[in-house]
Amino acid sequence: MIELQSIKKVYTMGSQSLEALRGVTLKVEQGEFISIMGPSGSGKSTLMNIIGCLDTPSAGNYILDGDKVAGLSFDQLAAVRNRKIGFVFQNFNLLPYATSWENVELPLLFDGKSARRRRERVVELLNAVGLYDWRSHRPSELSGGQQQRIALARALANDPPILLADEPTGNLDSKSGEEIMDILTKLWKEGRTIVMVTHNDHISARSQRIIRLFDGLVV
Amino acid sequence: MNLTLPRFFWSEYRKRRKKASLITFALFWGTLSILLLMAFGQGMSTQFQVSFKGLGETLIMISGGQTSLTYEGLPKGRAIRVYRDDVAYLRERIPEILRIVPESYNGWPVSVGGKELNRNVHGTTADFAVLRSQIARMGGRFLNDDDNALGRKVAFIGWKVAQDLFGVSDPVGQHVIINRIPFTVVGVLQKKIQDSMYQGPDADQIYVPFTSFLMIDNQPYVDRIHIQPKTGDESLLIEERAKVLLGRKYRFDPKDRYALGIWNTIEDSKEGLAVFRGIEIFLGVVGALTLLIGAVGVTNLMYAVAKERTKEIGIKLAIGARRRVIVQQFLLETVFIFAKGTFWGFITAFNIVSLIRLAPINYDSFGIEAYLLRPEISFQIFVAYMIILGALVFLSGIFPAWRASRLNPIESLRYE
């Protein structure tokens, strides 16, 4: 499903260059649930962004679902993010002025789905995360746990095979965190591939496999 | 046509309406103030020109004078007069003359039904109307050639004379007694702005056919000869030639500045036009500076708002929005905000100007309000304003969005 071969990422700032990833090779099979762990600055988020097609590697090959990502244009990458990958961010990244309904609807809209299909799907997703009654509320009117559940619903909008979660429980209290983890576990059991970045051993214990990063390398 | 995205853009715009309202207001205010400023300037300039033309357009007036130089053995201080036959004399010898009319006047008692006043009564011919901007009110006319040929007892009266003698009733067709001779009123002068005059404003004058005038007052000389040249450029030439011709006839030095009284409104209006041009340039500069200040304010706001939305752009890119969608959204929002602000600015300015124009001008005591109460919206200025401000607003509104859409989504997402 996800195959990374000697991925390098170098950030250049003026004359300084920083090697965030120094040749990461990694393979994630379909239906796997893996956690990426490591100290701050080890390159977890960089790796996550590359897997999520939010960033491109400086060197190395990335094969997603059998296709090479390197040759894709900006808009083709956007289509990949839209259909194949669902994102859950630590700080939710919901549009602040949009309602729960509208936030969940957004990926469907960008995919050009009809109004009827969008409506059906949003109802289904909001019911699945238990927030249908909160559909007209804005993110600022929701608790952290509720916001993350909306973000999860949004990530699942186009039914992507891969779910990427960057510290999904990082900004939540333990109870809300547990709820989110329950949903992720359920999704995994239904057949989705899940890649999660976390600091938390308790959270990572839920996954099948833990990959540890240190100084831009898998250890 | 798929309206899904435009609808989505619209619903997003509506949510951000409050944030956009400051920009909309800035655009509204800028449009309003520039249009008003230019409208008052333009109106003032136009009114200056209108009042200048109140006396008459392209007009040279010649009257008698007194010599100030000795000439061919004749002493200075001799009175010089112009006579009736000088009209034909000048017309025959100066081909550049288009129209030439005599005018004589005298103060006489005029009365209607026991109400008596003293007014200046002028004898002249039909062309006087063209030369001296004498336009009759609806239902009346000025003197014509037949009136003169037949020596008709008809009169054309100023609007104040009409008011003073006839009150509210229509004077046309009624009699007015001039120096004990009844005249029929054929027309009343339409109200006009007049900032230069001799013998008082035209509103207070009475005009009768030249031949009829001579029957009351058979003076051999005329008080004024009015000349309209074929083209304005020939006015100085005509002036010089009239001095030479009349100097030869009445034996005075053509260089004698006081032998004849000459009033050349064409030369005067050239000076006037330079003043108007100066006012227009000044207003143009003020307008351009105002536009610049307004544009800096608006573009700054647009830029800040677009920049503030970098993170939002990042979120949209992360969940699969194409670049085109992002830029389209900003483009449409900018078009809408710009159109809304400038539209209301224009409508408000237009209404204010129209309302002010409804205010009456006091033609009897012509003052500053005559210049201020007739602003004019200039569509050329509005179009130029729209183009310049439009270009700046679009650049400042779309450029940050375009740039954010070209960043890696992750960089936009990190933007706080």
Closest CA to B108 of B13, B21, B215, B9: B215
* Residue B336 pLDDT: 87
Same domain, B343 and B399: yes
Measured distance CA(B406)–CA(B400) in Å, rounded = 10
* CB within 8 Å of chain B, chain A residues 20-79: 49, 52, 54-56, 74-75, 78-79
A217 to each of A3, A39, A48, A197, B150, how far by Cα in Å? Answer: 15, 12, 14, 15, 119
End-to-end CA distance of chain B: 37
Measured at the CA of B316, the angle between CA B315 and CA B322, to 5 degrees, comes to 140
Q: Is residue A22 part of a domain?
A: no
* Residue A139 pLDDT: 93
Token digits of residue B238: 């005509």
On the 0-12 / 13-18 / 19+ scale of CB atoms within 10 A, B355 is: exposed
Same domain, B33 and B66: no
User: Is the confidence at residue B366, as pLDDT, over 70?
Assistant: no
- Domain of A174 in residue numbering reads as 31-53+72-212
Q: pLDDT tens digits, residue range A82-123?
A: 989 998 998 899 998 889 999 999 999 988 888 899 999 999
More confident site: A122 or B403: A122
Q: pLDDT tens digits, residue range B157-210?
A: 999 999 999 998 999 999 999 999 999 999 999 988 787 788 888 999 999 999
Q: Is residue A119 part of a domain?
A: yes
Q: Which residues of A touch B15 (CB under 8 A)?
A: 97-98
If phi > 0 it is left, if psi is from -120 to 50 it is alpha, else beta; for residue A112 that is left
Compute the mean pLDDT over every residue in chain B, rounded to the nearest whole number. 87
| Dihedral angle sign, alpha carbons of residues B395, B397, B399, B400 | positive
Token digits of residue B355: 């309302």
Same domain, B85 and B46: no
Q: Is A217 on the interface with B (CB under 8 A)?
A: no
Strand-strand pairing, B224-229 and B60-66: antiparallel
**Residue after which a domain boundary falls, among B219, B235, B265:** B265
User: Which secondary structure element, helix H or strand E, spans residue B13, and what is its range?
Assistant: helix B4-15
Strand-strand pairing, A16-28 and A2-13: antiparallel
* Residue B259 pLDDT: 92
Q: Enumerate helices (H) and strands (E) in chain B, giving the number of each.
A: 14, 12
> In this complex, do A110 and B322 lie within 8 Å of one another by their Cβ atoms?
yes
**Residue after which a domain boundary falls, among B220, B248, B265:** B265
- How many domains, chain A? 1
Q: Which residue of B has its CA nearest to A52?
A: B318
Whichever domain contains A179, its CATH number is 3.40.50.300
Same domain, B246 and B292: no
Q: Which of A11-15, B208-212, B402-406 has the lowest mean pLDDT?
A: B402-406
* Residue A209 pLDDT: 92
Nearest CB neighbour to B409, from listed A54, A98, A106: A54
Closest CA to A71 of A83, A85, A57: A57
Provide the H-helix boundaries in chain A: 44-51, 74-83, 100-110, 115-128, 144-155, 174-189, 201-204
Q: Is B324 on the interface with A (CB under 8 A)?
A: yes
Q: pLDDT tens digits, residue range B115-126?
A: 999 999 999 999
- How many domains, chain B? 2
Q: Is residue A203 part of a domain?
A: yes
Measured distance CA(A113)–CA(B166) in Å, rounded = 82
Q: Is residue A59 part of a domain?
A: no
Q: pLDDT tens digits, residue range B244-292?
A: 999 999 999 999 999 999 998 887 777 777 887 788 788 888 888 887 8
Same domain, B105 and B236: yes
* Residue B1 pLDDT: 47
Q: Is residue A134 part of a domain?
A: yes
Q: pLDDT tens digits, residue range B286-330?
A: 888 887 887 788 778 877 877 788 888 889 988 888 888 888 888
| Dihedral angle sign, alpha carbons of residues B256, B257, B259, B264 | positive
Q: Is B321 on the interface with A (CB under 8 A)?
A: yes
Same domain, B144 and B177: yes
Q: pLDDT tens digits, residue range A30-54?
A: 999 999 999 888 888 889 989 998 8
Q: Are the beta carbons of B76 and B218 closer than 8 angstroms? A: no
**Residue after which a domain boundary falls, among B230, B265, B300:** B265
Q: Is residue A25 part of a domain?
A: no
Average pLDDT value for residue range B39-57: 80
Measured distance CA(B341)–CA(B314) in Å, rounded = 29
Measured distance CA(B58)–CA(B63) in Å, rounded = 17
Same domain, B148 and B118: yes
Distance from the Cα of B26 to chain A's closest Cα (Å) equals: 23
A7 to each of A3, A22, A36, A46, B370, how far by Cα in Å? Answer: 10, 7, 15, 11, 81
Q: Is residue A138 part of a domain?
A: yes
Helix axes B4-15, B323-358, angle to 10 degrees: 60
Q: Which residues of B touch A73 (CB under 8 A)?
A: none
User: Is the confidence at residue B98, as pLDDT, over 90?
Assistant: yes
Q: Is B17 on the interface with A (CB under 8 A)?
A: no
* Residue B365 pLDDT: 64
Q: Which residues of B touch A94 (CB under 8 A)?
A: 315
Query: Which of the 8 DSSP states describes residue B329?
Result: H
- Domain of B291 in residue numbering reads as 4-54+270-414
Q: Are the beta carbons of B408 and A58 closer than 8 angstroms? A: no
Measured distance CA(B85)–CA(A123) in Å, rounded = 103
Average pLDDT value for residue range B337-366: 87
Measured distance CA(B248)–CA(B14) in Å, rounded = 85
Q: Which residues of A touch B410 (CB under 8 A)?
A: 49, 54-55
Same domain, B298 and B370: yes
User: Which secondary structure element, helix H or strand E, spans residue B255, and what is its range?
Assistant: none
User: Is the confidence at residue B415, as pLDDT, over 80?
Assistant: no
Q: Are the beta carbons of B202 and B134 closer than 8 angstroms? A: yes
Same domain, B219 and B86: yes
Give the pTM. Answer: 0.72
Q: Are the beta carbons of A32 and A161 closer than 8 angstroms? A: no
Same domain, B182 and B232: yes
Average pLDDT value for residue range A206-212: 91
Same domain, B219 and B334: no
Token digits of residue A81: 């993010």
Measured distance CA(A215)–CA(A212) in Å, rounded = 10
Query: Which residue(s) pair with A36 in the sheet?
Result: A197, A211
Average pLDDT value for residue range B225-231: 92
Measured distance CA(A189)–CA(A153) in Å, rounded = 17
Percent of chain A with pLDDT over 70: 100
Q: How confident is the model at residue B152 (pLDDT cuts 50, 70, 90)?
A: very high
Q: Are the beta carbons of B70 and B239 closer than 8 angstroms? A: no
Q: pLDDT tens digits, residue range A141-153?
A: 999 999 999 999 9
Same domain, B225 and B84: yes
> In this complex, do A74 and B8 lie within 8 Å of one another by their Cβ atoms?
no
Measured distance CA(A117)–CA(B148) in Å, rounded = 92
Q: Which residue of B has its CA nearest to A156?
A: B319
Q: Is residue A15 part of a domain?
A: no
Measured at the CA of B159, the angle between CA B203 and CA B141, to 5 degrees, comes to 105
